Amino acid sequence: MTARVERWPIAGAFVIARGAKTEAVVVVVELTEGSHRGRGEAVPYARYGETADGALAQIELVRTALEAGADRAALQALLPPGAARNALDCALWDLEAKQAGVRAWTLAGRERLDPVKTCYTLSLASADEMAEVALAHARWPLLKLKIGAADHLDRVAAVRAAAPRTRLVVDANEALTFDELTRLAPEFARLEVKLLEQPLPAAEDAALEGYASPVPLCADESLHTRAELAACARRYAAVNIKLDKAGGLTEALALKAEAQALGLEIMAGCMVATSLAMAPALLIAQGARYVDLDGPLLLARDREPRLPISGALIEPPPAELWG
């Protein structure tokens, strides 16, 4: 097992309510057995108390167990959900697929992996700047725009005017109060916003119980694993499943199945990262109502080989990349 930190420059800056960043800091794990190699990539996220060094330390804690043969099932108990477990879990999926001579989706019980259409994310900026980016992507089937500063409605209205035909998702990243939500949601509905993601801080979203939002609400920061699912089902219409939050593809697949059984819509989400991190998330994106796997499109460059992406369309990964 080897593990390392990589830094990938972002094209410009990626700005959300909590701040801005100019590079994607990822942890990459490689597991080698004989002639076969499996890889996984994850993003340690400060919002959840993670750092790159901390993720590497967690990975080292399970080196002996992994090199002694611990599999994906054992890994779930060895580490908590988060970036470290995600990198290891995805590497184990990749290694197992290569050893078996099949694709990873076959191991997951799928006959094939279908192409999906991802949204394009608009960083938080002035209304005019966001409208300019929206205009350049007005033919995309789905745009996701970040809000979090003042003048939330002005930004959404400007994007809607610039892209009148596309579906819109608004992502607040926990930046609204309940009073702001109840004031803004009818206006977002008027602007035909299809989904409002994580309006309230996760610690305060119990206030959503009993609230009939005119725009469907989606849990992001409030949902990591199946442990939070019951509460989210009382508060949200949809859930954003990210491998980094779930701690890998293994938990994310189980989370998706249980969420669908509860009648929740699925968003397949991501952190800003390379194609290696997006490839396993394509399994979560199968049949999802919303797909947000545009991480590589926000980078100044991607790794090679990369996911085949043409506009909004993401094709299945080459085996040399993952799975």
Residue 146 among the catalytic residues: yes
User: What would the DSSP string read from start to end of 84-133?
Assistant: HHHHHHHHHHHHHHHHHTS-HHHHTT-S----EE--EEEPS--HHHHHHH
Residue 242 among the catalytic residues: yes
Spatial contact of 171 and 198, defined as CB atoms under 8 Å apart: yes
- CA-atom Rg of the chain in angstroms: 19
Spatial contact of 218 and 237, defined as CB atoms under 8 Å apart: yes
Residue 49: φ, ψ to 5°: 75, 20
The counts of H helices and E strands in the chain are 12, 14
Sheet holding 36-42, edge to edge: 2-16, 19-33, 36-42
Residue 255: enclosing H or E segment and its boundaries? helix 249-261
Tokens 């890998």, residue located: 248
Nearest-5° Cα angle at 181, 175 to 186: 140
CA dihedral 323, 7, 219, 247 (to 10 degrees): 50
Exactly one of 146, 194, 245, 256 is catalytic; name it: 146
Closest to 115 in 3D by CA, of 315, 318, 320, 321:
315
Exactly one of 98, 144, 242, 256 is catalytic; name it: 242
Spatial contact of 77 and 233, defined as CB atoms under 8 Å apart: no
Instruction: Retrieve residue 99's tokens.
Output: 């050893």
> How far is C-alpha 126 from the geometric centre of its chain's CA atoms?
24
Residues annotated as catalytic are 146, 242
